[in-house]
Amino acid sequence: MASPIAPSSGASEPPPRYRDEDALRVAEELGRAAEALADRLAALTADEWEYADPRLPDPRPTVDLLTRHLLHDICHSLSEVLRGGREHGSTTGAAHRRNEKKAAGGHG
C-alpha cells in the first residue's frame, strides 16, 4: 500500500466552521464524504489497518488509530452543525430544553 500523506496547505487562515455554513449543503457534503470514506476503509486488508508510515516519528500511528481520530473529528463537526451557530459550550437538544424549562420555573 502506498503511504499517502496529505501535504501541508501552508494556509494561515483557520478552516471554515460548519456551523457558519448552510446546514443542508454541509449535510450533503458530509454524507458524500462519509460514503467515500466508508468505501475506502471497507477495501482495506487486515495488514493495511496496521500500516504505519515509516516517515512519521515513533511511535508511528497506524491506519486504525488515525481512522479512530478521524471519526472522532467527524463527530465534532456534526456536533457543530447541530449547534446551528451557537457558541461552543452551549447546551443542545434535551439538555437545552431542560435548561429553558428550569429558567421558566418548571422542573427539568
CA distance linking residue 64 with residue 78, whole number of Å: 21
The one-character DSSP state at 68 is H
Q: The pTM is what?
A: 0.49
The 8-class DSSP code of residue 98 comes to H
Segment 76-82 shows an average pLDDT of 79
Going by pLDDT thresholds of 50, 70 and 90, the confidence category of residue 105 is very low
Query: How many Cβ atoms sit within 10 Å of the Cβ of residue 96?
Result: 13
- 108 pLDDT more than 70: no
